[in-house]
């Protein structure tokens, strides 16, 4: 639900990252096997394997349509040894995960915006989800724009189910175009932040988000964060507009957006991906007029 900031890089910059990713990947691979895969791609897809690795998100969507077309059933099936090599060796052992994560500059799961994803020097403490399932489309198992760093919960919840929206999708600049958080409260005590709200609600006008919300089980998973909404409502009771204006007056040189200080999270669409729950807190913070 949070578009990668990587999409905002120029196409030349993106290209540079993707080309380097491809060369790091292929440098570790078995030349003979890569030649076999390349021959298969040229023969069946009329393109080289390297252009499948570096294909843009739009090109991958087109390729997926081609591979999924029912009248071609069977024609694009990869021979088993190639499929095995692609998934068990090339993907599992040779994908330069840390390089990919550095390129994307991603620190919070883009699917749920609930969990940090990290990397240390030697370990990548995040999972890579294949937006287009690797079992169904093994030829895209190592394509840069098919790999989504994500948290364990999302990767496990999604399994092989198809999603409609990828964080690489360039049609959307901001998560605000994709979905909106709200809540329901049944009592005055809930509205005053004295009790957890009844529920957190996620709405979207975009059809492509339906599967993401449903298959990633976001409405259910988000209910655990009702205490955060409670805190926002409580803050609304004690942080009057005068109090916030006073803060701004008292610290005129303040570098951080006052809204961020008030809700304790980032509030702009470009920064939702920097800290868990930023999108939910910003949406609800605005809804209750705690922030502008």
Least Cβ distance, residue 224 to Zn ion (angstroms): 13
Number of H helices, E strands in the chain: 14, 6
Taking the C-alpha atoms of residue 169 and residue 163, their distance in angstroms, rounded to an integer, is 12
Q: Which is nearer to Zn ion, 162 or 258 (CB)?
A: 162
The position carrying tokens 């009771």 is: 237
Least Å from the CB of residue 158 to Zn ion: 9
Dihedral over alpha carbons 222, 224, 230, 232 (to 10 degrees): -50
At its nearest, how many Å lie between Zn ion and the CB of residue 29? 30
Report which secondary-structure segment, H or E, holds 40. Answer: helix 31-45
Alpha helices in 105-240 (DSSP H): 152-158, 188-191, 209-215, 218-222, 226-238
- The residue among 156 and 237 lying less far from Zn ion, judged by its C-beta, is 156
Exposure string (b/e) for 227-265, b if CB count within 10 Å is 16 or more? ebbbebbebbeebeeeebeeeeeeeeeeeeebbbbbbeb
Locus of tokens 């979905």: 179
* Smallest separation, CB 81 to Zn ion (Å): 34
CB of 168 to Zn ion, least distance (A): 16
> What is the smallest separation between the CB atom of 115 and Zn ion, expressed in angstroms?
5
Interface ranges with Zn ion (CB under 5 A): 109, 111-112, 151, 154
In the bound state with Zn ion, the residue whose beta carbon lies nearer, of 151 and 200, is 151
Q: Which is nearer to Zn ion, 109 or 288 (CB)?
A: 109
| Cβ closest to Zn ion, residue 156 vs residue 254 | 156
Q: Are 39 and 48 in contact (CB under 8 A)?
A: no
Cβ distance to Zn ion smaller for residue 151 or 209: 151
Tokens of 125: 């403490």
What CA–CA distance (Å, rounded) separates 60 from 82? 20
Which of 14, 150 has the CB closer to Zn ion? 150
In the bound complex, what is the minimum distance in angstroms from residue 287's beta carbon to Zn ion?
A: 23
- Cα(first)–Cα(last) distance of the chain, in Å? 22
């Amino acid at each position: 639900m949070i578009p990668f900031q990587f999409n905002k890089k120029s196409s030349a910059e993106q290209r540079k990252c993707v080309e380097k990713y491809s060369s790091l990947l292929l440098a570790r691979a078995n030349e003979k096997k890569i030649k076999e895969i390349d021959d298969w791609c040229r023969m069946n897809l009329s393109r080289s394997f390297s252009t499948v690795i570096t294909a843009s998100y739009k090109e991958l969507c087109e390729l997926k349509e081609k591979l999924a077309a029912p009248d071609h059933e069977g024609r694009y099936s990869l021979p088993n040894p190639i499929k095995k090599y692609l998934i068990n060796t090339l993907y599992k052992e040779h994908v330069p995960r840390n390089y990919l994560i550095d390129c994307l500059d991603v620190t919070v799961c883009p699917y749920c915006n609930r969990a940090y994803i990290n990397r240390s020097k030697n370990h990548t403490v995040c999972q890579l989800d294949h937006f287009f399932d690797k079992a169904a489309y093994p030829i895209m198992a190592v394509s840069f724009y098919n790999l989504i760093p994500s948290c364990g919960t999302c990767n496990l919840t999604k399994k092989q189910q198809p999603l409609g929206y990828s964080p690489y999708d360039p049609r959307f600049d901001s998560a605000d175009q994709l979905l909106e958080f709200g809540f329901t409260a049944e009592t005055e005590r809930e509205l005053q932040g004295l009790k957890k709200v009844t529920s957190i609600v996620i709405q979207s006008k975009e059809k492509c988000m339906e599967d993401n919300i449903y298959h990633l089980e976001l409405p259910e998973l988000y209910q655990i964060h009702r205490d955060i909404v409670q805190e926002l409502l409580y803050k609304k009771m004690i942080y009057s507009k005068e109090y916030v204006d006073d803060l701004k007056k008292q610290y005129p040189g303040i570098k951080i957006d006052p809204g961020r200080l008030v809700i304790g999270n980032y509030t702009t669409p470009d920064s939702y991906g920097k800290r868990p729950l930023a999108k939910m807190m910003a949406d609800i913070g605005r809804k209750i007029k705690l922030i502008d």
